[in-house]
Amino acid sequence: MAPSSDRPSVTASALLTAFVVSYGRCFTKSEWTPGREAVLLPDSAVSALGDVERSLHHRLVSLRMQEFAHSDVTAADISVTAHQSAFLVPTSRVMRHYGLDSSDLAIAVQIVEKLVVYVTLELTRLQDELAPFGSWQQPSPPAAA
């Protein structure tokens, strides 16, 4: 049985999942690495977004929280299709459907572009602010014994 044309391909689904997880991680505190404090983008990063962008931003962060951080069953719209290969080995394909379309993805690109500008400006501001204290240099690796 061929996948439905209105369903994303396995690759598209995997890339969309990776995007949702990566995007949400920038705004969501996580305990995934003990002893390491998460660095989050501040609320001011979102303040430059327009209403439509901000709405999608909240939707993406919510999707990440429901789908991955808390495994909320109500958010999962999963279909499983079993196939048999030429060697009669059963396989399955699990697809997540987030309700995002190409216009949402175009808006997501705009959001990411604005966030890149925000981070670049913040780095420039910090560089200027820290300039009186000298330049930071990466420490040299320890000498071989």
Percent of the chain with pLDDT over 70: 59
Instruction: Output the pLDDT for position 78.
Output: 53
Give the per-residue pLDDT at 16. 85
pTM for the complete prediction? Answer: 0.65
What does the pLDDT look like over 55-87, one tens digit per residue? 999 999 988 887 766 555 454 555 555 556 555
pLDDT at residue 139 in the model: 57
* Residue pair 75/64 in contact by the 8 Å Cβ criterion: no
* Greater pLDDT, 92 or 58: 58
Higher pLDDT, 52 or 7: 52
Mean per-residue pLDDT over the chain, rounded: 75
Instruction: Give the per-residue pLDDT at 74.
Output: 52
Contact 94, 80 (CB under 8 A): yes
Confidence bin at 31 (pLDDT 50/70/90)? low
**pLDDT, tens digit, 9 for 90 and up, residues 111-135:** 999 999 999 998 888 888 877 776 6
